[in-house]
Amino acid sequence: MTTLRGNWNYPTAIRFGAGRISELPDACKALGITRPLLVTDPGLAALPMIASAVESCRKAGLPCEVFSDVQANPIEANVTAGVALFARGGHDGVIAFGGGSALDAGKAIALMVGQSRPIWDFEDREDWYTRVNVAGMAPTVAVPTTSGTGSEVGRASVITDVRQDTKMHTKKIIFHPKMQPALVIADPQLTVGLPAHITAAVGMDALSHNLEAYCAPSYHPMAEGIAIEGMRLVKQYLPRAVKNGSDIEARAQMMVASSMGATAFQKGLGAMHSLSHPCSANLNTHHGLTNAVVMPYVLTWNRGALDDKMIRLAAFLDLPRHSFEGVLDWILELRRTIGIPDTLAGIGVREEHADAFSRQAYDDPSTGGNPLPMTPAKFAALYRNCISGKMGAEVAGG
């Protein structure tokens, strides 16, 4: 095995390789951080990897405090509490350490420590990001501990808006180009303890990012190039990482496939994410797992716009059949191998949710990247397919 290690700046500065978490104090210093606030989730906060990260910072003369009041699918209150602690502790930078929820919360805290407007004023709409007081933002080092979200290289955070009046929960994308962490430490060793079912679910999130980015109709050949290689890495290494969590080569390759997915999806996402967001916002289903369940249904729905692209993808992935069916068979087989349920019903989404979630899915920012134009009625039909297990292409006028 060649040494999987490197220093990359495409487009984020990434220190990649097993054991490189030891460079955390140096990474903080490189960004001028002297009193970091480490943002993570409660599960990770109890693990030795956080204690040892804090200790290494302190030893290097960087007093580091931990904030871990971050729930899965983080909400505004988590961000507000982190901002308050940042101010109380006199911190001057953030270490966002964990899976997607911790990374997104950390990035949102680093944004909000310098703002006077409410967080929802910075939703990813039109030019709302220009409202941000950039000078007030705190520098961020990101340390991913799962391989799926890719949030470490992303310019946005997903925060759930809990509406008191309607009780509906909506995932909103908070965006500013400078929310992209200035430095990433990508250490695959940190993912070795992830259980197999989480490895599978987050790995499928990475696949969904690469696949939806590849399928999105906008013109972005660089993103497409990254996406197609990201999918090849998932094909080769996700089953290995799920089967043997200590396979450090597989862990490393999945970690880079995850960063590649999030790099590629500036090209666009699509209906997999549109369908998935209302499910996890309202029913707390796992984001990556939900994407994995809906993946073949969405691909089939969009088939009319994808035949040529699937032929190229199947050839690159060296699949037995160079066709749409070849790609679909691979995805179905991959899902079976790593234990993903077949239908949304299998993860608690019921028939009545199809109509209830269809408007939210339509309004999701991911919808604009879907290969075929969508409507709320089409989303309701697609939800029904995913709930019942019916694989169907979009019907004209449906």
Residues constituting the chain:
398
Options 132-140, 180-188, 201-209, 211-219: segment touching Fe ion (CB under 5 A): 201-209
The token duo for 175 is 């965006």
* Of residues 294-333, those binding Fe ion (CB under 5 A): none
* Minimum distance of Fe ion from residue 150's CB (angstroms): 8
Instruction: Name the CA dihedral angle for 133, 368, 216, 392, rounded to a multiple of 10 degrees.
Output: 150
Angstrom distance (rounded) from CA 62 to CA 382: 51
Please identify the residue of the shown chain whose CB is closest to the bound Fe ion: 205
The token duo for 368 is 């604009």
Options 62-70, 200-208, 237-245, 367-375: segment touching Fe ion (CB under 5 A): 200-208
Closest Cα partner for 188 from 236, 248, 102, 109?
248
Options 14-22, 105-113, 178-186, 199-207: segment touching Fe ion (CB under 5 A): 199-207
Single residue of 41, 152, 205, 364 touching Fe ion by CB under 5 A: 205
- Number of residues engaging Fe ion in binding (CB under 5 A): 1
Distances (CA, A) of 71 to 40, 78, 101, 219: 10, 7, 7, 36
- The answer to whether the beta carbons of residues 10 and 38 sit under 8 Å apart is no
> Does the footprint of Fe ion cover residue 152 (CB under 5 A)?
no
Options 12-20, 197-205, 358-366, 383-391: segment touching Fe ion (CB under 5 A): 197-205
* Minimum distance of Fe ion from residue 275's CB (angstroms): 12
- Our CB check for Fe ion shows the closer of 286 and 353 to be 286
- Our CB check for Fe ion shows the closer of 76 and 364 to be 364
* Minimum distance of Fe ion from residue 104's CB (angstroms): 11
* Minimum distance of Fe ion from residue 362's CB (angstroms): 18
- Our CB check for Fe ion shows the closer of 205 and 224 to be 205
* DSSP code for 46: T
- Our CB check for Fe ion shows the closer of 152 and 205 to be 205
Distant-in-sequence, close-in-space partners of 206: CB < 8 Å, separation ≥ 6: 147, 148, 149, 150, 230, 234, 254, 257, 258, 260, 261, 288
- Our CB check for Fe ion shows the closer of 25 and 100 to be 100
Options 43-51, 56-64, 205-213, 348-356: segment touching Fe ion (CB under 5 A): 205-213
- Our CB check for Fe ion shows the closer of 275 and 314 to be 275
- Our CB check for Fe ion shows the closer of 65 and 123 to be 123
Q: How many other β-carbons are positioned within 10 Å of the β-carbon of residue 6?
A: 11
Options 158-166, 204-212, 344-352, 376-384: segment touching Fe ion (CB under 5 A): 204-212
* Minimum distance of Fe ion from residue 69's CB (angstroms): 23
The token duo for 268 is 């666009």
* Minimum distance of Fe ion from residue 240's CB (angstroms): 22
Angstrom distance (rounded) from CA 309 to CA 291: 20
Q: How many other β-carbons are positioned within 10 Å of the β-carbon of residue 160?
A: 21
- Our CB check for Fe ion shows the closer of 76 and 205 to be 205
- The answer to whether the beta carbons of residues 208 and 295 sit under 8 Å apart is yes
Classify the C-alpha dihedral 298-301-304-307 as positive or negative.
positive
Which positions lie near Fe ion, rule CB under 5 A? 205
